């Protein structure tokens, strides 16, 4: 049995897609979703899968002993950041070497770094007149969007694309690829 913990701050469409993908797989269990946002849409999305949500605040997140205890309860084989907006602290990176991954909605190293999340990324891609964009799944280190890449998928852009249409294209790539990449890392 492989255990996954998901970290999410927002809507949770990736978390839901991952939960759905593994729902009938008896070798993989989504043990919990950790969120820094008590209002996050991901909380309601997890209810139908009976996946518990752990809400934490900044002080709890910074408290190494407290936070590692919380995580270790679930014995994770993989920690998956799916729209999680806080920087991962060094103690967490060190406690789970090569076991924390993130999805980023652009072709890193382009359009990464602090503040580059969600629509901000798609707006920047549009403003730069890019002819393609995509997703990057990468290992997490203590810097935003800088860990070793694991997987990228690309999609072409045209002059008529808008930040919204780019967001749709990215969403489709995320739904198609993220759970499979996770599965490949687990087995």
- Which residues sit at the interface with ligand GAR, rule CB under 6 A? 8, 10-14, 82-83, 103-105, 116-118, 121, 170, 174
Nearest Cα residue to 92 out of 7, 11, 178, 29: 7
CB of 83 to ligand GAR, least distance (A): 3
What lies within 8 Å, CB to CB, of 161 at 6+ separation is 126, 169
Shorter beta-carbon distance to ligand GAR: residue 39 or 65 = 39
- Identify the H or E element spanning 61: helix 58-62
Name the closest residue to ligand GAR (Cβ). Answer: 83
Shorter beta-carbon distance to ligand GAR: residue 97 or 115 = 115
CB of 169 to ligand GAR, least distance (A): 11
104 carries an active-site annotation: yes
Shorter beta-carbon distance to ligand GAR: residue 14 or 31 = 14
What are the distances in angstroms from CA 164 to CA 20, 34, 161, 186?
25, 28, 8, 33
Cβ-based neighbour number of residue 167 at 10 Å: 18
Q: Which residues are catalytic?
A: 104
């Amino acid at each position: 049995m492989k255990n996954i913990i998901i970290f999410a701050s927002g809507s949770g469409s990736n978390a839901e897609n991952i939960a759905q993908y593994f729902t009938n797989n008896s070798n993989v269990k989504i043990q919990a979703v950790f969120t820094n946002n008590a209002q996050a849409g991901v909380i309601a999305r997890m209810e139908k899968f009976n996946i518990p949500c752990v809400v934490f605040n900044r002080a709890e997140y910074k408290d190494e002993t407290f936070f590692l205890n919380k995580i270790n309860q679930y014995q994770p084989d993989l920690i998956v950041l799916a729209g999680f907006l806080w920087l991962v602290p060094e103690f967490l990176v060190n406690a789970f070497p090569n076991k924390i991954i993130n999805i980023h909605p652009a072709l890193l190293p382009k359009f990464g770094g602090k503040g580059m999340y969600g629509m901000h990324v798609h707006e920047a891609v549009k403003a730069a007149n890019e002819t393609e964009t995509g997703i990057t799944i990468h290992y997490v280190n203590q810097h935003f969007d800088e860990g070793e890449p694991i997987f990228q998928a690309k999609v072409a852009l045209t002059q008529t694309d808008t930040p919204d249409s780019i967001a749709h294209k990215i969403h489709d790539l995320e739904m198609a690829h993220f759970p499979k990449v996770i599965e490949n890392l687990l087995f």
